[in-house]
Homo-oligomer: A and B are copies of this chain.
Amino acid sequence: MKRMEAAIQNLRASGGRITNARRSVLQALVTARTHVTAEDLLNIVQSESPEIHLSTVYRTLDALEKLGVVDHVHLGHGRAVYHLSDNAHQHIVCDKCSSVEEVPSELFLQLEKDLKDKYRFKVRMNHFAVIGTCSQCLEKLDKSELN
């Protein structure tokens, strides 16, 4: 669990304190390893430490995000999902079934470069989701159009 230790060093170095709550949230993030909502994290965390409060989860995520350890993406209907920072993938989100899939970042490299070169806009990788329709839902749609 290198990531966990690195994050803890990071927190400490920035003058933060290492508390149970923070260790739990971090642990939960490592465990989950995918896009989880604050509430998902709360559930994981509370299965061990039921006293931990949702607002603490939010505040911890905030702190970790400021350190660059965590990122969050808004998936469209309000909820945000959080995960350990990692530039290796992006999210594609189905607007029919809300499923989230990860795709390699390389698909986005050209776009990133273009926006940089032509608009001096520095994309924050991993902080946006592409909305569309996933293969399963597309199939269902095709079938229903046959009727």
Chain B residue nearest to A107 in the complex (CB) = B114
A40 at the interface (CB under 8 A from B): no
Q: Roughly how many angstroms separate A94 CA and B92 CA in the complex, as a whole number?
A: 20
Q: Roughly how many angstroms separate A92 CA and B123 CA in the complex, as a whole number?
A: 8
- Mask, A121-147, CB within 8 Å of B = 1, is 111100111111111001000000000
What's the number of copies of this chain in the assembled complex? 2
Q: Do A133 and B124 touch across chains, with their CB atoms under 8 A apart?
A: yes
Q: Which residues of B contact A108 (CB under 8 A)?
A: 111
Q: Which residues of B contact A134 (CB under 8 A)?
A: 120-121
A12 at the interface (CB under 8 A from B): no
Q: Which 9 A-B pairs have the closest CB atoms?
A: A120-B135, A123-B132, A127-B131, A124-B132, A122-B133, A128-B131, A124-B131, A122-B132, A107-B114
